[in-house]
Structure 1
Amino acid sequence: MSIHMDALDQHFTLPKTREVAANSPMVWLQKGWRDLWAHPGPSLMYGVIVTLIGALVLSLAAHHPYLFTTSITGFLLLAPLGAAGIYELTSEREEGRPTSFIQSIRDLLANLGQLGFLGLALGMVAIAWERFSAILFAVFYGGQDVTLAGYISSLTGEFLPFTLVWTLAGFLLAFLVFGLTAVSIPMLADREIDSITAMMTSLRVTSENRVVMIQWAALIVFLTAIGFVTVVGLVVIFPLLGHATWYAYKDLVE
């Protein structure tokens, strides 16, 4: 069934959007890579901060399976908000202003209201997902105290229904959040616009470029997974994806 987003114009005045070429995700990554090394110091600083926070959260949740898996999902939900400062860096450079970590924080704080609203919405989604995962664990595991190793080894046996339900629910939630945040946060860094309009614009470009955006989402998940496995790699991968997302926004929104 085709998804039509024109009805959004009845409720929102949205910026014009574009359809992009099939190879656009790789082009965004190439541009993001060049942008990362145009100001490596402040960009990598964001990568270090996010990596340290991610490592801390995972270490705290390591002995609680549902918290461990939920924390990874929560990271993917909230990571776009953490990249807001990276978008400010690129915006500063494009405007010919000096780029620095401190200045990007100042610019970020200048639009804190709309970003805060979006962050609150994403935080509520993450909390709801954590509660949903806890309920699923309680239902399928019957209140057992399951270790992480036991949880991983049981994903295919009698608990296969749990695995399928949890994975499907996570996929649907992640796709919805990706649709709402694909370009909305860089839009808030670049324009005087409210968060609702930014999210609706993001939803529209995701709908209009479904194949390309599915490829882009898959690349983000793949590279983030590499970052989690290597830990240190996330220091580079996170700002790389942040800069690449800026160029995705520039291509998708006029």
Structure 2
Amino acid sequence: MAAATAATPALPRAQRIAFAAPLRWLARGWADLAAAPGIGLFYGACFWLMAQILGAVFRNRPEYTMTFVSGCLLVGPFLAMGLYEVSRRREQGMPQSLRESLTCWRSHIGSMGLLVLVLTVLELLWGRASLVVFAVFFNTGMPSTASVLQAVFSMANWQFLAIYTLVGSAFAALVFCSMVVAIPMVLDRDTDAITAAITSFSVVLTSTATMLFWGLLVVTLTLFALWPWALGLLVAGPLLGHATWHAYRDTVQWSS
């Protein structure tokens, strides 16, 4: 009598990585971008358009800036998923395709749907918190379009600036820790959203200094890309997307 054996599913495990590993991810990301520049330019243009809309919101309705930023954090990772697909296909020697990158989420709709829900909740909480901070700590009235920077960074609003930065940083850190490798995991192994988010947190806790360095590089490159006119996002956006795929490949090991 033959006994049926069930295959044991592979389990993700965060592995410790060297502090300089993010520089390697950027180098590999650049190679992926150079291999498919047209696809990269398409996604870069999408990120550039998001930056233009964000700038318009900041100039005209600054109290909703953080709400829109959180919306970008919702949309951005799913745009980046197409870049992860480009890197994945190149890694496996498959032909590049913009159409395939745009539709790669369809076979992972369950896990992606739950990640959308988590990010939506974080977006709503972040947006509500930013409005509360504006209402409680902003001392000079809502700034006009012409004086928004002067009003926000006025010494009269130092408490607002400190609290706004603290609250924004807390939510940004939460999003980073829960999503830094979650979406590449879903794309690669169709991992459920909970396992992907927990593994992402585990990656940050296992190599905290390295992941802080990676987060600093992401923020720094993004800030530099915003000047002038956010044109740098045409390159920095797809570069960081490709590099994130390699961050996942280095930090998560699968074992039965």
TM-score range, shorter chain: 0.7 to 0.9
Q: Which amino acid aligns with 1:238?
A: G
3-state SS of 2:131 partner: helix
Match of 1:99, SS? coil
SS in 2 for 1:229: coil
What amino acid sits opposite 1:119 in the alignment?
Answer: V
Aligned to 1:224: 222
Task: Out of 132-141 and 193-202, give the one that drifted further.
Answer: 132-141
Alignment of 1:79-158 (within 5 A): 79-141=76-138, 144-154=141-151, 155-158=153-156
Partner SS state of residue 16, structure 1: strand
- What is the deviation of 1:156? 4.3
TM-score of the pair, normalised by structure 1: 0.87
The answer as to 2:241 corresponding to 1:236 is no
Task: For residues 47-70 of structure 1, give each alpha carbon's deviation from its aligned partner in whole angstroms, at most 9, with x where no partner exists.
Answer: 112211331243244211222354
Letter paired with 1:133: S
2:222 partner SS: helix
User: TM-score w.r.t. structure 2 length?
Assistant: 0.87
The reply on whether 1:50 has 2:54 as its aligned counterpart is no
Structure 2 CA distance for aligned equivalents of residues 75 and 229 of structure 1: 18
Report which stretch shifted further, 202-211 or 153-162. Answer: 153-162
RMSD (Å), alpha carbons: 2.0
Change in Cα spacing, 1:73 to 1:228, as seen in structure 2 (3 Å) is farther
Query: Which residue of structure 1 lines up, in the alignment, with residue 178 of structure 2?
Result: 180
Deviation at 1:149, TM superposition (A): 4.9
Q: Distance in 2 between matches of 1:37 and 1:194?
A: 32
Q: Distance in 1 between matches of 2:74 and 2:105?
A: 19
Partner of 1:8: none
**1:198 aligns with one of 191, 196, 199:** 196
Quote the Cα distance in structure 2 between the aligned partners of 1:77 and 1:158. Answer: 33
Please list the CA deviations of residues 147-199 of structure 1 after superposition, one character each: whole Å capped at 9, or x if unmatched: 25544324241211111111111111111110111111111111121011001
Give yes or no for contact 1:81–1:119 (8 Å, CA) kept in 2: no
Correspondence for 2:27: 30
- The 2-side partners of 1:140 and 1:200 are apart by 35
What pairs up with 1:2-13 in 2 under 5 angstroms? none
User: What is the percentage of aligned positions where both structures have the same residue?
Assistant: 36
Matched residue SS, 1:62: helix
Letter in 2 for 1:193: T
| Count of equivalent residues | 242
Q: What is the one-letter code of the residue matched to 1:242?
A: G
Instruction: Point out 4+ residue stretches in structure 1 off by more than 6 angstroms.
Output: none
Shift of 1:209: 0.6
Contact in 2 for aligned 1:28/1:245 (Cα 8 Å) = yes
- In the alignment, structure 1 residue 248 sits paired with structure 2 residue 237: no
Unpaired runs of 5+ residues, structure 2, are 1-9
